[in-house]
């Protein structure tokens, strides 16, 4: 019986390896769950997990707690030390960026956006960003209606807001937190509902110091990482810029 199980897990590993190498599962994409693979191959989860672990030892797949198994890929690094677009950072890493507009509308501002932008009417644009053809981020941008009134859906799909706004920009504040993917977000990002994601809120300011954009970026946690360069050390119990959120 032990001999049969050994042969079976190797057979499953060989088939999964062939599927990965053939591109059935793109880099960073989730594999079917262990229970789904068990049903597909008519094997126990223990046998399937052993096959997956064999592929992990080869560097073909990886796993994260709360996420599942996925095709191994390098995380995309984003530097937080300067004001830059997501597309610029992807392109600088040799990755082909692409954006798809999901929603473009002038709407009443919700309470949080109204408090930040100090306006009642905003242009809200929601888009899906892709990296080499694979979902990488869901981005929602809110812009005061008076600044966005001349913009079209085609323009914001083609160019970032930073290039389209009629005001010079001075900088931004970004807040990063951990979250779990809702069913809608999970479907767009190609992950399972409840999977860990990174939620990044950015407030961008004009030269006069007034906030001109609010944006919310949602990233699958296994595909991205943020890098902060700290020029000098300070006597502190925590790195400068970090705070606890209750």
- Tens digits of per-residue pLDDT, 51-60? 988 988 888 8
Tell whether 64 is covered by a domain.
yes
Domain containing residue 194:
76-227
Tell whether 116 is covered by a domain.
yes
Same domain, 186 and 92: yes
Give the burial class of 241: count Cβ atoms within 10 A of its Cβ; 0-12 exposed, 13-18 middle, 19 or more buried.
exposed
Residue 169, both tokens: 């920009």
CB-based contacts of 214: which residues, under 8 Å, 6+ apart?
A: 112, 113, 116, 117, 141, 142, 201, 202, 203, 204
Residue 47, both tokens: 């046998």
Q: What is the pLDDT of residues 142-190, one digit of tens each?
A: 999 999 999 999 999 988 888 898 888 888 898 999 999 999 999 999 8
CB 4 within 8 A of CB 42: no
What's the pLDDT score for residue 120? 97
CB 154 within 8 A of CB 98: no
**Total of domains in the chain:** 2
What's the pLDDT score for residue 232? 62
pLDDT at 136 over 80: yes
Same domain, 149 and 194: yes
Tell whether 241 is covered by a domain.
no
Q: Look at residues 15, 46, 71 and tell me which one is the last residue of a structural domain.
A: 71
């Amino acid at each position: 019986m032990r001999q049969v199980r050994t042969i079976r897990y190797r057979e499953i590993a060989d088939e999964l390896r062939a599927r990965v190498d053939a591109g059935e599962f793109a880099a960073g994409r989730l594999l079917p769950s262990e229970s789904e693979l068990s049903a597909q191959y008519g094997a126990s989860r223990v046998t399937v997990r052993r096959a997956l672990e064999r592929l992990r030892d080869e560097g073909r797949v990886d796993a994260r707690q709360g996420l599942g198994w996925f095709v191994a890929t390098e995380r995309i690094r984003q530097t937080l030390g300067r004001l830059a677009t997501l597309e610029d950072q992807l392109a600088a890493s040799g990755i082909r960026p692409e954006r798809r507009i999901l929603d473009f509308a002038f709407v009443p501002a919700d309470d949080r956006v109204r408090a930040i932008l100090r306006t009642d009417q905003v242009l809200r644009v929601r888009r899906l960003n892709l990296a080499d053809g694979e979902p990488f981020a869901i981005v929602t941008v809110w812009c005061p209606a008076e600044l966005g009134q001349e913009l079209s859906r085609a323009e914001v799909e083609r160019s970032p807001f930073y290039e389209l706004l009629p005001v010079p920009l001075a900088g931004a504040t970004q807040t990063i937190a951990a979250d779990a993917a809702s069913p809608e977000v999970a479907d767009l990002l190609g992950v399972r509902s409840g999977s860990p994601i990174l939620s990044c809120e950015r407030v961008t300011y004009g030269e006069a110091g007034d906030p001109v954009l609010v944006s919310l970026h949602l990233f699958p946690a296994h595909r991205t990482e943020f890098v902060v360069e700290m020029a000098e050390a300070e006597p502190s119990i925590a790195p400068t810029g970090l705070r606890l959120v209750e």
